């Protein structure tokens, strides 16, 4: 039996009560889209990560952090995945994780939000990242 979590309404959205939430493996998805040969989009995901969401009293004061296991990358194409895991790209043996931290949450109206963040790949200076959260209704 699943216990219902307390929720509230904010700008027409159902959001969790303020607090810290750990994302469970069964209900999270960390996906990405890249370009193949600068022509067609390639979608993929990381299947293993630990992530926490801090929901603020003001939802715009919320934050997301995650540690993503680089070896869990999949685009569902074995040859491409092996190349992306290689030293040419992620170098998963030398750099087993990506650190992801949000920097701001923006409300754009019409039930649209945006989370800006940085991600540290291969121990380099953080790269700018943008999160496009999927609409998931809390249980």
What tokens appear for 8 in the block? Answer: 């509230």
DSSP code per residue over 98-117: EEEEEEEEEE-STT-EEEEE
Residues of the chain with pLDDT under 70: 1-4, 108-118, 125-139
Tokens for 70, please give them.
Answer: 């680089």
Please report the domains of the chain, with CATH numbers, ordered by start residue. Answer: 10-131 (2.40.128.110)
For residue 137 the two structure tokens come to 């209704």
Q: CB–CB of 20/54 below 8 Å? A: yes
Model confidence, pTM: 0.75
**pLDDT for position 138:** 37
> Where do we find the tokens 């299947």?
47
């Amino acid at each position: 039996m699943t216990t219902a979590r307390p929720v509230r309404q904010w700008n027409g959205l159902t959001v969790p009560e303020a607090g810290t939430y750990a994302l469970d493996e069964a209900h999270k998805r960390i996906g990405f889209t890249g370009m193949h040969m600068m022509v067609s989009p390639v979608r993929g995901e990381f299947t293993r990560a630990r992530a926490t969401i801090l929901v603020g009293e003001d939802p715009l004061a919320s934050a997301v952090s995650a540690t993503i296991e680089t070896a869990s990358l999949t685009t569902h194409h074995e040859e491409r995945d092996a190349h992306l895991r290689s030293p040419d790209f992620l170098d998963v043996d030398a750099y087993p994780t990506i650190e992801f931290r949000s920097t701001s949450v923006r409300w754009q109206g019409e039930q649209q939000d945006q989370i800006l963040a940085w991600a540290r790949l291969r121990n380099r200076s953080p790269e700018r990242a943008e999160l496009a959260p999927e609409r998931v209704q809390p249980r």
